[in-house]
């Protein structure tokens, strides 16, 4: 993590003091508890799993659809922490599958269920089929696994939302906002807490993770120069999720407090810092063709071809926000963690409408993106979605 902080414009970790202040209680609760981590082999999932593991849980089961990422998670844990006395197992399962349901039926005894699974990319809204899977993963799988947790008598359910759920402008953020509406309904039957946070630096599939791939493959670095984002490190993402899971009250949404410690920084600025950290001087190019051609010769001269452009793709939000003006905040309980307090507000008929219409589309095996967008606008009348016809897959 030490090498990441300078790249995102920081010198100190965000939540150190909050963790120190609550470590005794946190470690005690974890050591006596049983955990199920869903989506545990993704970047945030791995970070959460490691935060739990190093506090010696009585039971820690991890589920993820990615067999390869799960192997790396186990290798990482064994290499970093070794072993625990508790029951630690991993399962390469799809949460939406019959096999997963059988797994839960066989055991299913957990105090805390943490759901880190998500389709998190704005680019996933480009076609109606991936968009439907996003709805399944982000909304319906969440609703299903909460009900399974209720049926099995779990104490607490945690899942990740996104800063993009506050006044969403893209389908990913809107799907998470709709997920939060479903959470409110289930929160009348089980304690639920969640978290909204910034981009996780160098998480799988992120633009910063792509920088590593481009260096390995001797390809140009491409980044928008007009979009600024807040970033947290992978470890900070794990700490934030665990703090919300253990200490969050029902319907609490945890988020990082905006302060001088959390800086907005552009992707292009990070790219420059990243290359300098690796001993390269950025060389600005005018086109993709020029950047691709120079990638064959410049690295040997200690320079790296870069293409920094303005963003014009569908779903990009001009700025980030963790809460809206209508939400009630508790900014006093923690040093660097803010909390959004919620009442169980939801419209049952609206949720039923969403379930029914999505169900009909699936039964017919036919739907369009326009139909789904229209349904999202019904759910979220203030939805700020704008279709530009351009997507990230059309760029390097």
State the pLDDT confidence band at 392, using cuts at 50, 70 and 90.
low
Domain housing 392: 1-200+231-264+315-396
Q: Over the range 53-72, which residues count as b (16 or more CB within 10 Å of their CB) and which as e?
A: bbbebebbbbbbbbeebbee
Helix (H, G, I), strand (E, B) or coil at 56: coil
- Output the pTM of the full model: 0.89
In a domain, 276, yes or no: no
State the pLDDT confidence band at 389, using cuts at 50, 70 and 90.
low
In a domain, 46, yes or no: yes
In a domain, 159, yes or no: yes
In a domain, 221, yes or no: no
**CATH number assigned to the domain comprising residue 15:** 3.40.50.720
CA trace torsion 383, 384, 387, 392 (10° rounding): -100
The sheet with strand 199-200 has its strands ordered as 199-200, 228-232, 264-266
In a domain, 224, yes or no: no
In a domain, 296, yes or no: no
More confident position, 104 or 262? 104
How high does pLDDT run on average in the chain? 90
Alpha-carbon span 196 to 340, nearest angstrom: 10
Q: What's the total number of domains in the chain?
A: 1
- Cα–Cα distances (Å) from 393 to 127, 290, 390, in that order, read 11, 19, 9
- Cα–Cα distances (Å) from 396 to 215, 222, 294, in that order, read 14, 7, 15
Q: Tens digits of per-residue pLDDT, 44-83?
A: 999 999 999 999 999 999 999 999 999 999 999 999 999 9
Mutual orientation of helices 348-364 and 171-186 as an angle, nearest 10°?
A: 120
In a domain, 72, yes or no: yes
Q: Tens digits of per-residue pLDDT, 246-304?
A: 999 999 999 998 776 677 888 999 999 999 999 999 999 999 999 999 999 999 999 99
Q: Confirm if 45 and 116 have CB atoms less than 8 A apart.
A: yes
What confidence score (pLDDT) does residue 199 get? 84
Beta carbons within 10 angstroms of residue 284's beta carbon:
13
- pLDDT average, residue stretch 137-160: 97
- Cα–Cα distances (Å) from 119 to 87, 183, 202, 337, in that order, read 29, 17, 17, 25
- pLDDT average, residue stretch 227-247: 93
- pLDDT average, residue stretch 5-13: 88
- Cα–Cα distances (Å) from 2 to 10, 13, 213, in that order, read 10, 9, 20
Q: Tens digits of per-residue pLDDT, 113-129?
A: 999 998 876 777 889 99
Backbone angles phi, psi at 197, to 5 degrees: -150, 175
In a domain, 98, yes or no: yes
């Amino acid at each position: 993590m030490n090498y990441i902080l300078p790249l995102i414009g920081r010198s100190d970790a965000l939540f150190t003091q909050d963790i120190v202040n609550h470590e005794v209680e946190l470690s005690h609760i974890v050591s006596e508890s049983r955990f199920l981590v869903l989506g545990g082999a993704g970047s945030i999932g791995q970070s959460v799993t490691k935060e739990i593991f190093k506090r010696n849980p009585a039971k820690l089961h991890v589920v993820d659809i990615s067999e390869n990422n799960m192997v790396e998670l186990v290798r990482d844990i064994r290499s970093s922490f070794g072993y625990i006395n508790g029951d630690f197992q991993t399962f390469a399962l799809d949460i939406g599958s019959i096999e997963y349901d059988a797994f839960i039926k066989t055991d299913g005894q957990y105090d805390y269920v943490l759901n880190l699974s998500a389709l998190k990319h704005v680019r996933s809204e480009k076609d109606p089929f991936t968009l439907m899977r996003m709805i399944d993963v982000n909304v319906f799988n969440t609703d299903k696994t909460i009900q399974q947790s209720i049926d099995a008598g779990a104490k607490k359910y945690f899942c990740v939302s996104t800063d993009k759920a506050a006044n969403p402008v893209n389908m990913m953020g809107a799907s998470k906002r709709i997920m939060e509406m479903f959470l409110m309904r289930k929160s009348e039957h089980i304690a639920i807490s969640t978290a909204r946070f910034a981009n996780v630096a160098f998480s799988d599939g992120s633009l910063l993770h792509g920088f590593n791939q481009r260096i390995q493959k001797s390809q140009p670095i491409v980044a928008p120069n007009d979009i600024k984002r807040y970033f947290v490190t992978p470890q900070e993402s794990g700490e934030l999720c665990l703090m919300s899971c253990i200490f969050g009250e029902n319907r609490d949404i945890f988020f990082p407090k905006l302060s001088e410690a959390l800086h907005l920084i552009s992707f292009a600025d990070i790219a420059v810092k990243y290359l300098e950290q690796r001993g390269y001087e950025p060389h600005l190019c005018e086109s993709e063709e020029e950047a691709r051609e120079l990638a064959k010769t410049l690295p040997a001269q200690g320079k790296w071809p870069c293409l920094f452009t303005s963003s014009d793709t569908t779903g990009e939000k001009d700025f980030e926000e963790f809460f809206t003006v209508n939400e009630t905040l508790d900014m006093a309980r923690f040093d660097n963690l803010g909390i959004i307090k919620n009442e169980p507000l939801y419209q049952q008929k609206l949720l039923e409408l969403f379930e029914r219409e999505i169900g009909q589309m699936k039964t017919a095996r036919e739907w369009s993106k326009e139909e789904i967008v229209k349904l999202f606008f019904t759910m979220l009348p203030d939805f700020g979605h704008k279709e530009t016809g351009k997507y990230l897959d059309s760029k390097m």
